[in-house]
Amino acid sequence: MAKTSTGGKASSRPKSSASNNKKAGGENGSPSFDPAKAQEEYKKRKQSQLEAIKGTDKDVLSEMLYEMVLGREFEQKCAEVYRIGKIGGFCHLYIGQEAIAIGVQTQLEDRDFVIGSYRDHVQAMVQGISAEAVMAELYGKAGGNVGGKGGSMHMFSEEHNFFGGHGIVGGQIGVATGLAFAQKYKETGGVTVCYFGEAAVNQGIFHESLNMAALWGLPCIYICENNKYGMGTSQERAMSISSISSKAEGYGMHGEFVDGMDVMNVREVVGRAIKRGREESAPTLLEVRAYRYMGHSMSDPGKYRSTEEIKKYQERDPIRLFKDSLKEAKIFDDKDFEDIEKRANTKVGEAIEFAENSPLPDESELLTDVYA
Ligand SMILES: Cc1ncc(C[n+]2csc(CCOP(=O)(O)OP(=O)(O)O)c2C)c(N)n1
Ligand SMILES: [Mg+2]
């Protein structure tokens, strides 16, 4: 029997309209989130973070904070240089969602795999691909992660077990299922982490993959990063049953809702999913609720939501929350924070310098690694 712990109500009856759906959930679907209670929730979250922090090694906490700050500063710099034409093409930023990649990936081992969508810069860096290689890839330079020919959406490194960077919504869910099949077949004990947005859940490949993963007992952790919007359509307008974690029940797998603004909550729930994958060879579906502060991509004018809504979510900012908790737990002081910010800042500067100085790909590379 599948166990589900969902944060919202799943209706057993089909809904005929978006307004019905709204009643069943909260703002833009379920689970409900009342922005007016943001401060209250923030305090509650801090209390549970404090508990989790006490049982975690200081070096691990330090690495987690560094990676979150680096991710944020790196992407703020991306937005800046994109606006002056240094980066071309698509560019989807992760600002606001950092607690997810960091909470998940800082506890993975060398035998584990990661795969995701086009919103991939931070996930690639936490996986060990250098900030220099990611920035040079965004610049389309030869020193980039894939030689400057993939751009923002196609980071990839077999060495670091990072299997993309995928532009087709939901496409990576099928590939992840195959990766987890290989891990089981070869008895590596590894797990595959698969990230995708909530809009990808409406694709057929989600259903087919989760069905097979449960049927064959694959060690795959399906992580839906629910940031409430596809390109410009809110979840409530596109999904009939909006509690994504409850969908796990339909496949006979474990499903859970996670607060994606709380890095320690992500770490804890994913820790259990990793154990389930390694020890029971069983998959997990997690719905991690987050919020993206920027547009869908750098070319999104963002007319479908208000600045008030963005501000309300920023009140629960994952980096601010984590820093406050670390300070209150007396594990870090202002000097520690300054050091971490300085390190991240220096790294972003080095990434920009590397990208600026890296040459463009040679003409002879025009047709290498290109498949059609
Ligand atoms: C199969 C397919 N259909 C449509 C698109 C165009 N498209 C790109 S991103 C996107 C929205 C995806 O939203 P979500 O899955 O929630 O991820 P998020 O961007 O919010 O991280 C769409 C429709 C695509 N890339 N692939
Ligand atoms: Mg989304």
CATH code at 164?
A: 3.40.50.970
Probe ligand 1: pick from 169, 195, 205, max atoms within 8 Å of CB?
A: 169
Instruction: Provide the CA 345 distance to its chain's centre, in angstroms.
Output: 22
- Percent of the chain exceeding pLDDT 70 equals 90
Cα of 231 to ligand 1 centre, how many Å?
Answer: 6
33 in a structural domain: yes
364 in a structural domain: no
Report how many domains make up the chain: 1
- pLDDT at res. 8: 38
CA angle 303, 304, 308 (to 5 degrees): 85
Q: Summarize the confidence of residues 204-211 as an average pLDDT.
A: 98
Comparing 59-63, 204-208, 225-229, 309-313, the range with the smallest average pLDDT is 309-313
270 in a structural domain: yes
Domain of 118, in residue numbers: 28-352
Amino acid 251 reads Y
| Cα–Cα dist 223/100, whole Å | 9
Confidence category of residue 20, pLDDT binned at 50, 70, 90:
very low
- pLDDT at res. 4: 44
- pLDDT at res. 16: 36
- Percent of the chain exceeding pLDDT 90 equals 82
Atom of ligand 1 nearest to the CA of 227: 20
- pLDDT, tens digit (0-9, with 9 covering 90-100), for 298-320: 999 899 999 989 988 898 899 99
- Whether 296 is in the pocket of ligand 1, judged by its Cβ within 6 Å, is yes
Q: How far is CA 133 from CA 33, 95, 147, 370, in A?
A: 38, 19, 9, 20
Q: Summarize the confidence of residues 141-146 as an average pLDDT.
A: 98
54 in a structural domain: yes
- Whether 184 is in the pocket of ligand 1, judged by its Cβ within 6 Å, is no
Q: Summarize the confidence of residues 135-159 as an average pLDDT.
A: 97
18 in a structural domain: no
- pLDDT at res. 38: 66
Asked if 72 and 329 count as a contact pair (C-beta separation under 8 A), the reply is no
173 in a structural domain: yes
Atom of ligand 1 nearest to the CA of 169: 26
Cα of 174 to ligand 1 centre, how many Å?
Answer: 16
361 in a structural domain: no
182 in a structural domain: yes
Cα of 288 to ligand 2 centre, how many Å?
Answer: 11
